[in-house]
């Protein structure tokens, strides 16, 4: 039986970077390969409480609170939440916990978005061995996908961007100065947020983990939307990477529609994709799947072949214009 997070020995450290103190939590053998877990909004490292015990027996597992969340330094400056700053924080944590070896990464939501920024940096292949992305796109890739679809013929070219616009409509509200912060400050409670996640993911309350700072994280973390959405969607950059990337695509994701990832192979030389009939918060609803998928990609980097469910997939190192796609049963 898998141990609970409370039974896994943990050590804590603080990584100081550009005026921010980042609260870092480490599990497992520090001499083993390192897997860094990066959360999104409005979560903290507690997002990974169900995943960490599944990885800590083999890996050096590191989870940290990103700036503005949990026990890390808070800020009211929009500029402090720009992806370039968040990616630099990630590299600071990686350098602190694994200075001599590249790290593997599993990231969710805005955590995935900021790691996408990191894996497209020039130093990425030296410091990042693999990246498993869950429910968080590269914003520049998503913007390019929208533009490409709108230029295409037929109703599908309009329908796909339109459905993504509907799914992303909440971000317009989140970017409104003052109002969303007031709304979350007055109305958001742990009970209501837990119920919302249960409805979106069809998962048990006992598998959902929050930090005591949830309400603060909801309010403070909203600045990440204002700092990044318009800047990247209106002026997308050409961002490519040779880091092996695995997309875990949630078919019932309320934020990013599965079609939004369809062009990822244009920018990623080594790419795999798993489509899962799940909602947005898979770290809560599918911890075993995420732990297994991450481990399989680590093994692929080591052995040169990705094996998923006993099936040999495209060898790592063979670029594909279209990723190998797996459909995962619920």
> Quick one: pLDDT at residue 6?
87
As a whole number of angstroms, the distance between CA 132 and CA 305 comes to: 16
Q: Are 150 and 161 spatial neighbours (Cβ–Cβ below 8 Å)?
A: yes
Q: What is the DSSP letter of 79?
A: G
In 3D space, the residue among 273, 292, 135 whose CA is nearest the CA of residue 201 turns out to be 135
> Quick one: pLDDT at residue 316?
38
As a whole number of angstroms, the distance between CA 330 and CA 324 comes to: 19
> Quick one: pLDDT at residue 311?
52
Cα dihedral 220, 224, 230, 235, rounded to 10, equals 160
Q: Tell me the pLDDT tens digit for each residue of 252-299.
A: 998 888 888 999 999 999 999 999 999 999 999 999 999 999 999 999
> Quick one: pLDDT at residue 123?
95
> Quick one: pLDDT at residue 320?
44
DSSP line for 184-249: HHHH--HHHHHHHHHHHHT--GGG----TTHHHHHHHHTHHHHHHHHHHHHS-----B-S-EEEEE
CATH number for the domain spanning 16: value is 3.40.50.1820
Q: What is the DSSP letter of 318?
A: -
Domain range holding 138?
5-327
Whole-model pTM: value is: 0.91
Given CA atoms 110, 116, 117, 118 in this order, what sign does their dihedral have?
Answer: positive
Cα dihedral 120, 123, 125, 126, rounded to 10, equals -160
Task: List, for the chain, all residue ranges whose pLDDT scores fall below the cut of 50.
Answer: 310, 315-321, 327-330
As for how many domains the chain has, the answer is 1
> Quick one: pLDDT at residue 155?
66
């Amino acid at each position: 039986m898998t141990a609970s997070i409370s039974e896994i020995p943990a050590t804590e450290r603080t990584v100081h970077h550009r005026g921010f103190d980042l609260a870092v939590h480490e599990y497992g053998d520090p001499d083993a390969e390192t897997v860094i877990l990066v959360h999104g909004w409005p979560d903290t490292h507690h997002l990974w409480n169900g995943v960490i015990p599944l990885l800590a027996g083999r890996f050096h597992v590191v989870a940290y609170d990103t700036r503005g969340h949990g026990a890390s330094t808070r800020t009211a400056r929009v500029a402090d939440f720009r992806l370039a700053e968040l990616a630099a924080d990630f590299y600071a944590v990686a350098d602190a916990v694994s200075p001599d070896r590249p790290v593997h990464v599993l990231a969710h939501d805005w955590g995935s978005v900021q790691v996408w920024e990191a894996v497209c940096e020039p130093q990425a292949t030296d410091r990042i061995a693999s990246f498993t992305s869950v429910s968080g796109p590269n914003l520049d890739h998503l913007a390019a996908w929208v533009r490409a679809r709108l230029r295409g013929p037929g109703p599908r070219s309009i329908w796909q961007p339109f459905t993504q616009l509907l799914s992303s409509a909440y971000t317009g509200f989140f970017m409104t100065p003052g109002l969303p912060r007031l709304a979350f400050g007055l109305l958001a409670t742990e009970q209501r947020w837990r119920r919302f996640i249960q409805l979106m993911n069809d998962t048990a309350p006992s598998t959902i983990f929050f930090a005591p700072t949830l309400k603060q994280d909801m309010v403070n973390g909203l600045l990440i939307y204002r700092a990044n959405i318009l800047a990247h969607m209106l002026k997308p950059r050409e961002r490519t990477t040779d880091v092996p990337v695995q997309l875990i695509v949630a078919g019932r994701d309320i934020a990013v529609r599965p079609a939004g990832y369809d062009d990822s192979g244009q920018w990623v030389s080594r790419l795999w994709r798993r489509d899962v009939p799940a909602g947005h918060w898979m770290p809560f609803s599918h911890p075993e799947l995420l732990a297994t998928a991450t481990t399989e990609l680590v093994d692929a980097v080591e052995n040169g072949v990705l094996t998923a469910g006993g099936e040999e997939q495209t060898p790592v190192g063979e670029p594909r214009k279209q990723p190998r796609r797996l459909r995962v049963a619920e």
